[in-house]
Amino acid sequence: MWKNLSEINTIPIIIIIECSQCGGLLLAIEKQKTKSCTYCGARIKIHKAIRIASAGNSYEASKKLKNYKEKKGFNKK
């Protein structure tokens, strides 16, 4: 059988997720199953997590994350 080339060269999609425990924003790789929250230590199931945004590379992702963090800070209630 022929291998699908696009499958081999898949670039991991980086997503920004929100921790369901503390609401902290985290970066995760979409293919990962779980991720520990850096703020409260909760184990987050990535497929169940609230997705804020996604990015094609880590630079873009961290830029977006910074943006969302700033926005969140402004809207504090």
Judged by the rule CB under 5 A, the positions of this chain that interact with Zn ion are: 19, 21-22, 24, 37, 39-40, 42
Least Cβ distance, residue 22 to Zn ion (angstroms): 3
Task: Report in angstroms how near the CB of residue 75 gets to Zn ion at its nearest.
Answer: 18
Tokens at residue 67, please? 């943006």
Min dist CB 1 to Zn ion, Å, is: 43
By beta-carbon proximity to Zn ion, the closer residue of 22 and 57 is: 22
Determine contact, residues 66/55, Cβ cutoff 8 Å. Answer: no
